[in-house]
Amino acid sequence: MNNKRFTQNILKAFIIAFLVLFPHFVPLPFYSYAVVCLAVIIFYLRRQKETLRDLGLKRNGLTAHTLIVGILSALLWIAFNKWIYHPFITHFFVVEPYTEYDFIRNKLSNLIITLVAAWIIAGFYEEIVFRGFIQTTIREWFIKSRHSFWLAGFLTSILFGLYHWQQGIFGIIPSFLAALLWTFLLWRYKGNLWYPIISHAIYDTIALTMIYFGIEI
């Protein structure tokens, strides 16, 4: 490996660490950390003469089919959490009540604000960061392997799970599994990042609405 490539890989690793850690250790108000992190990604891409399209944000990638797949996959993931994952962990473990979003219960204004944030941050921002930038970058490190996509997808999913450490181990595990689902969508639809974006956003919309009405996920 030549010095230039080595330096680039170190820089990429530093950016990945920054994207995962910065939102937690420099908690800027009202998700404004996303502006900083996106700016870092866009600045780096411009230096490489690339754009967000190179991460899978295809110009014509958002279609009716994208929405249908997003809805169906989100419903599938809600069903898995409600009728398989949650009953399993509560049967074998003592699980503390999840209270992070209690502030939206029966408060419509809080729900609406949180839903807007979910689409912008959870759907759009997090998918650009993880399935877009981080997974694409890690895949380049395994480019000689025919399994590079899934190696990168698995490692990125681990990082995505750990990114949710504030939710505890029983938040990390489903976040990891959800990341694998969205990685599958990215693979199935040939790198079109809009599929995991819409699926992620719709899942959060349904989950938050359930919390609003007091329905256990």
User: CA-based angle 44:49:124, to the nearest 5?
Assistant: 55
Burial class (CB in 10 A: 0-12, 13-18, 19+), 190: exposed
Q: What is the mean pLDDT of the chain?
A: 95
Stated pTM of the model: 0.95
Q: Work out the percent of the chain whose per-residue pLDDT is above 70.
A: 100
Per-residue confidence at 27, pLDDT binned at 50, 70, 90?
confident
d(CA 81, CA 217) in angstroms, rounded, equals: 7
Single-letter residue type at 174 = P
What's the Rg (C-alpha) of the chain? 18
Q: What is the pLDDT of residue 217?
A: 78
d(CA 188, CA 185) in angstroms, rounded, equals: 5
Q: What is the pLDDT of residue 47?
A: 94
d(CA 199, CA 201) in angstroms, rounded, equals: 6
* 29 has a pLDDT exceeding 90: no
Domain boundaries of the chain, sorted by first residue: 3-212
Q: What is the pLDDT of residue 203?
A: 98
Q: What is the pLDDT of residue 1?
A: 57
Per-residue pLDDT reduced to its tens digit, 171-217:
999 999 999 999 999 999 999 999 999 999 999 999 999 999 999 87
- CA 48, distance to chain mean position in Å, is 24
Per-residue pLDDT reduced to its tens digit, 126-159:
999 999 999 999 999 999 899 999 999 999 999 9
